[in-house]
Structure 1
Amino acid sequence: MLIASLEFIQNGMLNFAAAAVMGGIGASPEEFSYSAMAYATTAILMLFNHHWFSRRLGMRRFVRGSVVVFALGALLCATANSPALFVLGRAVQGLGGAVFFTAARVEINALHDRSRMSGLLCFGYALMLGAALGPLLGAQALRYLDWRWIFWGMLPWLVLALPATRLLQQQPEPALPAAHSSHALAWLVTAVLLGQWLIQQLPYDFFSRPQWLLLLLLACVATALLVIWLKSRQIAAADGWRPLAQVRYVLGLGFYFCCYLLVAANSYILPVMVQQALGFDVPTTGQLLSVSFIAGMAFATVYSALLLRRRAPGLRMMLLFACGLLALYGGLMAAVSPEVGMARLAGLLLLNGGFMSLFIMAVAQGTFRGVDAAHFARAYQSKNIIRQLAISMGVAGSTVFLQARNAQHYQRLAEGYSWHNPLFNDAMAQLQAALPQLGQAQQLAVLAGELGRQSMLLSCQDFFHAECVLAGLLMVLVLWQRQFD
C-alpha cells in the first residue's frame, strides 16, 4: 500500500496545485505541460523495460532504486526556479514513479486464494486513498505553506516506504538478454517522444495548425510500426509477448483505456468547474475532489465482500451497472446550476467513485483471467503503458474540448452584452441598485466576469453531456462482447 500510493499522492497534489506551481516557476500553461510530457515519456520508457529490470536486479533492489530516483526528482522540483529545471525534475520522477504501481500489483499476484483477494482490496485502497489525499494535502499546502511543499511533503512518505521494500522478493537473474536491441530501443524512444509531443501540442495547435499535428501522428505511427517490426526479429522477446495475443486481454486493455481516459478528463474538468464556474474556494475544492475516491473505496469493499461470498453478479452485469452510474453522474452534473450546494455536489461525486472502482475491478478480473503467472508481470506492464497514454490523452483531449466549447459559448453570450439588449440594461440597473458604490466601468467588469463564469459552466456541462454519450457507447460495447460474461 505504501509503494502503490506514492505516485498517486504526488500527482494528485501537483494536478490540484498546477496554477500555483506555474506562478512559482514562471511557466506558461504550454511550458508547464512539457513537465507532464516529460513525466509520461520517461514513465512509458521505464514500463517498456520494467520486466527486464525487475528480473535483472530483483524486485527489491529495483523498487528501492526507484524510490531514491523518485525522491531525487522531488528534490529537483522543490528547488526549481525555472520551467526547464522543473521539467527535468518531473522527468526524473517519471523514471521512478512508473515502477511503483506495477511492482505492487505483481507482488500481490504472488499471494494465494483469500490472501490475494485481501491484497487486491488493500491495493485498491492504496490507489484511491492516495488519489483522495492528493487534493486534500495540496489544498492545505497552498493554504498554509507554498507550492514547494507539494514536493517537500513527499519525502516523509518515501522514508516510510523505503523500509517496507525489505518484504519484496529478491531473485535477480544476471544472465538475462537485453530487453531491446540497440536499434529497437532508439526507435522506441523516438516513437514515445513523438507520441507524447503530439498529445502535448494537441491543446495548442488543434485549431491553428492541424496539418502539423497530422504529420506528427503519421511520424509516430510509422516509427511505432518500425519498432514492432524490429521487435518481431527478436524471437525470444516475441515469444514473451505471444501468449498475450488473445481477444480477452486486448478487449480488457481497451476497457482500461476508456476508463483511465474518462478518469483523467474528469480530474481536469472538475477543478475548473468547481472553482471557476461554481465559485468554491481552494480548500472546499480539495475536499470535493477527494469524495469520488473515498466513495470508490466503499464501493470496492462491498464488491469484494460479495466476491468472497460468491454472491457477486457476473462481469457483464457489473460493467453495465458501472456504466449506468457513469451515465447518471454525467446527466446530473450536466444539469448543475450555479446555486448548487456542496452537499449535492458531494452526492453526485459518489456516483463517479462507484463507476471508477466497480468498472476497474470488473475489467481487471476479466482481462487477466486467461494470463498465467509466468506472463502476468509483462501483461501488467503493458496495461500500465496504456494507462499512461490514456491519462495524457484524457487531459489533452479535455483541454481542447473545453477551449472549443468555451470560445463558442462566450461568443454567443457576448452577443447580448450590449446597451441595445433590454436584459443587459436590466442587469446594469440591478447592479446599480445592489452596488451603488461602483462606477459604470466597474459594473461592466462585474458583468464581464459573470459572462466568463457562465460560459465556463456551459462548457463543463457540455463535457458531461458527452460523458453520458460515451457511457451509452460503453454499454453497447459491453452488451456486444462475449469475453466478459
Structure 2
Amino acid sequence: MQQTPVPAGSDALAPAIPAIPAPATPGTKTSQRPRMQLASHPEMGHWRLSLFGLTLGLVTGIDFSSTLMMGVASQHIQGGVGAAPEDYLYAISAYAATAVLMNMVLDQLARRITYKRFTMVSLLVFIAGSLICAEFASPAGLITGKAVQGLGAGGLFAASRILVQLVSTPAERAPLMLRFGGGSFSMLAITPWLTSIFLDDIGWRAVFLFQAGIALPVLLLVALTYPTRAPRDPHPPVSTLDWPAAIAAALGALVFLHTLQEMRYTRFFSSLEMPLAALCGVALFAFSGWRLYRHPDPWIDFSRLAGRQYLYGLGFYTLYYLLSSGWSFLLPTLTQTGLGLTFRTTCMLLSTSGTVSAIGAILITLGMALVFRKRRVIAIGFVVYACAAMLLSAQLMPGAPDYALVPVVLLEGLTPVLLMVQVASMTYLEVPVEDFSHAYQFKNVCKQIASAMGTGLASVFMQDGLAQHRTHLAEHITRFNPALQMPDALSAAGLAKLSQEVDRQATLLAGMDLLHGFAALCVAGAVFVLVQRSFR
C-alpha cells in the first residue's frame, strides 16, 4: 500500500480530531454524523470502509482464536492424535517459532506484494495448515500443520494493524479502529462457543476444521473490501533481507520457546539439557542481533526503537501477555480438572469473557477522547485482573456451580480493554511513522515470547503446588479415615476414586496459591504504573 503522510507521534487509538464541517448554504441539509472516508482511497464508500475495518479485526481474530483453542482443547487434541506431552509442546513451539519468523519478514514481503495480497496468501497458508492438522492424525502431522499455521497466521495481527496506520490519518482512524476492535474481540467471543458445539459432534478435528472454515469467509471479505488502487511499492523500506539473521532468529525462537514450554513437565535445572538449550536459543538471538547491527540497511533497526515511551509500552505489553497467557492456562485447567466442568461449559465461560471484551472495546473506542489520565486506567485494569484472580480462588471448592464463575469471566473480560487498549494508545506516540511497521513487528515478537513464558511459568508453579499439596493430603489419609471404612473402600475401584479425589483437591489448592501470586503481581504492576512518570 502507498503510505499516506501522517504526523510523527500519532497513534491509531488516539482521539480522532473531528473534521470541521463546511458552512451550510441555503437549501442544503447538513449531516449530523460525517460519513467515513479515507483521503488516500476516496473510491471506497462508507459501507465498504465499514466492512474493511471489520475485516481487519476478523483477520486479527484468526490468530487470536487459533492460539486460544490450542490451550483450551489440548486434552482432546492430544488424545485424538496420540501425542505425548513433548510432541504437543513441539507443535505449540513450532507455531510460535514460525510466527516469530513471519513477524520479522512481514514488512519486507507485504511492501513488495501489497498488504492485501500478503493477507490473502497468509490466510490460504493458514487454511492449509489447519487441514493438515485435521487430516493427519499423528504427532508429526500436528507439528507440521501448526508450523504451517504459524507461517500463515503469525503475521496477520501486525499486518492488519500496520495497514490501518498506512491508509489513514489520525482524524480518519477512530472509525476504522472501532470496527477493528469489534471484529477482533468478536472472533474471540464466538470461536470457543462454536468450537465446543462442533467438537461434540465431530471430535477433536472440529477445532481445526472450524478454523479453516471460518477463515474462508474472512478471505472472501479481504478480497472484496481491502483497497486495490494502490500499486506495489517499488521502493521497499529495506533494500535486502538478511536471511542468515532471519533464519537464526527463527531457530532461536524455536529452541528458546520450546524450552520455556517444556518447563510444564521438567524442572529447568534438573539437568544440563534445558539450560544449555536456553543458552543456545539466546545465542542464536544474539547472532541475529549482531547481523542486524552490522547490516547497512537492517529490517529491524533497534537504534530507532530506543524511545523511552516505546520501551515502557513494550514492557507493559510483555507483562500483559505474560499474565493473559498464564490465565489462559489456569482457567481451563482449574475448571475442567479441578471443578470437573465440561469442555462446553468452559468454552461458554470463555465466550462470555470475549463478549465483554468486544462490547468494552467498542465503548472505549467511542469514548477514547474522554479517557484522561490513562495511566490510572491501566492501574485500574491491573486491579480488576487481581480481583478476578481472587474471586476465582474463592470459588475453587468441590461442587462449585458453573454460574459462580460468571462474575470471574466478566471481570477478566474487562482487562484487555483497560490494559491492552490503553497501552496501545500510548506506546507509539513517539515512534515516527516510517518506523511504525517494524516497531509493531518487534512488539509481536515479544508477544510470542511472553506468551510462551507465561504459560511455562504458570505450569511450573502449578506442578510444584500439585506435588506439595498431593503429598500433604496423602499424609493425612490413614486406615482410620472414614472414607476407608466403607465396604469395598480398599478395592481397586475405591482406591482409584480416592486417588482422583486427592488429585482434584491438590489441583484446587495449587490453583488457589497460584491465583494469590497472580493477584500480587497485578497489584505490583498497578503500583509501578502509578509511581513512574515516563509512560504518559
| TM, length-normalised to structure 1 | 0.92
The one-letter code of the counterpart of 2:367 is L
Flag the 1:179–1:482 CA change in 2: closer, same or farther, 3 A. farther
Equivalent residue in structure 2 for 1:68, among 105, 120, 124: 124
2:6 corresponds to which residue? none
Deviation at 1:441, TM superposition (A): 4.5
Say whether residues 1:317 and 2:376 are aligned partners: yes
Q: Distance in 2 between matches of 1:139 and 1:239?
A: 40
Root mean square deviation, CA, Å = 2.2
Contact 1:406 1:459 in 2 (8 A): yes
SS at match of 2:367: helix
- Whether 1:57 and 2:118 are equivalent positions in the alignment is no
SS in 1 for 2:476: coil
Asked whether the equivalents of residues 59 and 171 of structure 1 are also in contact (C-alpha less than 8 Å), the reply is: no
What letter corresponds to residue 319 of structure 1 in structure 2? I
- Is residue 395 of structure 2 the alignment partner of residue 395 of structure 1? no
Q: Note if contact 1:11-1:134 (Cα within 8 Å) is conserved in structure 2.
A: no
Say if 1:14 and 1:7 are closer, same or farther in 2 by CA, change over 3 A.
same
For residues 400-439 of structure 1, the C-alpha deviation after alignment (integer angstroms, 9 at most, x for no partner) is 111111011101001011114xxx22x345xx4xxx7877
Render the CA deviation track for 1:95-132: whole Å, top value 9, x for unaligned. Answer: 01012111111222233446422322322222322222
Alpha-carbon distance in 2 for matches of 1:94, 1:182: 18
C-alpha displacement of 1:77: 0.8
> Quick one: which of 148, 171, 193 aligns to 1:136?
193
Deviation at 1:78, TM superposition (A): 1.1
Higher share in helix:
1
Residue 370 of structure 1: aligned partner: 430
CA shift in 2, pair 1:222/1:341, >3 Å: same
**Residue 472 (str. 1) matches residue 523 (str. 2):** yes
2:21 corresponds in structure 1 to: none
The 3-state SS of whatever aligns with 1:163 is helix
> How far apart are the structure 2 equivalents of 1:204 and 1:178?
44
Instruction: Render the CA deviation track for 1:150-194: whole Å, top value 9, x for unaligned.
Output: 222233322212232231454323554555324323432332232
User: What's the offset of the Cα at 1:3?
Assistant: 1.5
Q: Aligned partners of 2:214 and 2:432: how far apart in 1?
A: 33
2:68 is aligned with 1:12 = yes
Quick check: 1:449 aligned with 2:506? no
Change (3 A) 1:296 1:150: same
Query: 1:443 is matched by which residue type in structure 2?
Result: G
Structure 1 residue 156 corresponds to structure 2 residue 213: yes
Q: How many Å separate the matches in 1 of 2:271 and 2:194? A: 39
Q: Which amino acid aligns with 2:350?
A: L
For residue 218 of structure 1, report the CA deviation from its aligned partner: 2.5
Contact 1:270/1:289, CA 8 A, preserved across alignment? no
Matches within 5 A, 1:284-295: 284-295=345-356
Aligned partners of 1:202, 1:260: CA distance in 2, in Å?
Answer: 18
Distance across 1 between alignment mates of 2:280 and 2:70 = 31
Does the 8 A contact of 1:16 with 1:139 survive in 2? no
2:88 pairs with 1:27: no
Amino acid at match of 1:221: V
Residue of structure 2 equivalent to 1:249: 310
Deviation at 1:48, TM superposition (A): 0.6
Change (3 A) 1:379 1:154: same
- SS of the equivalent of 2:327 reads helix
**1:14 Cα deviation after fit:** 3.1
Shift of 1:377: 1.4
State how far apart, in whole Å, the 2-side matches of 1:297 and 1:387 are.
21
Superposition deviation, residue 443 in structure 1: 3.4
Q: Which residue of 2 aligns with 1:283?
A: 344
Which digits, 9 at most, give the CA deviation of each residue in 1:68-114, with x for residues without a partner?
Answer: 11111111111012101110011011001012111111222233446
Question: Does structure 1 residue 342 correspond to structure 2 residue 398?
Answer: no
Which secondary structure does the structure 1 equivalent of 2:264 belong to?
A: helix
**1:402 to 1:301, Cα distance in 2 relative to 1, 3 A:** same
Aligned ranges 1:8-407 → 2 under 5 Å: 8-109=64-165, 110-113=167-170, 115-166=172-223, 167-168=226-227, 170-174=230-234, 176=236, 177=238, 179-206=240-267, 209-237=270-298, 240-307=301-368, 310-336=369-395, 337-407=397-467
For 2:59, the equivalent position in structure 1 comes to 3
Structure 1 contact 199–393 (Cα < 8 Å) conserved: yes
For the residue of structure 2 that corresponds to 1:304, the secondary structure is: helix
- Please list the CA deviations of residues 430-479 of structure 1 after superposition, one character each: whole Å capped at 9, or x if unmatched: xx4xxx78775433333222111110001111111011111122022202
Which residue of structure 1 lines up, in the alignment, with residue 5 of structure 2? none
List per-residue Cα deviations over 1:194-233 (Å, max 9, x = no partner). Answer: 2223223322332573432222232222332222222111
Deviates more, 1:85-94 or 1:161-170: 161-170
Say whether the 8 Å CA contact 2:299–2:438 is kept in structure 1.
no
Structure 1 unaligned residues grouped into runs of 5+? none
Q: Which amino acid aligns with 1:217?
A: A
Change (3 A) 1:77 1:455: same
Q: Identity of counterpart residues, as a percentage?
A: 30
Question: Structure 1 179/274 Cα, relative in aligned 2: closer, same or farther at 3 Å?
Answer: farther
Given residue 396 of structure 1, which amino acid in structure 2 is its aligned partner? Answer: G
Shift of 1:241: 4.2
1:19 alignment partner, SS class: helix
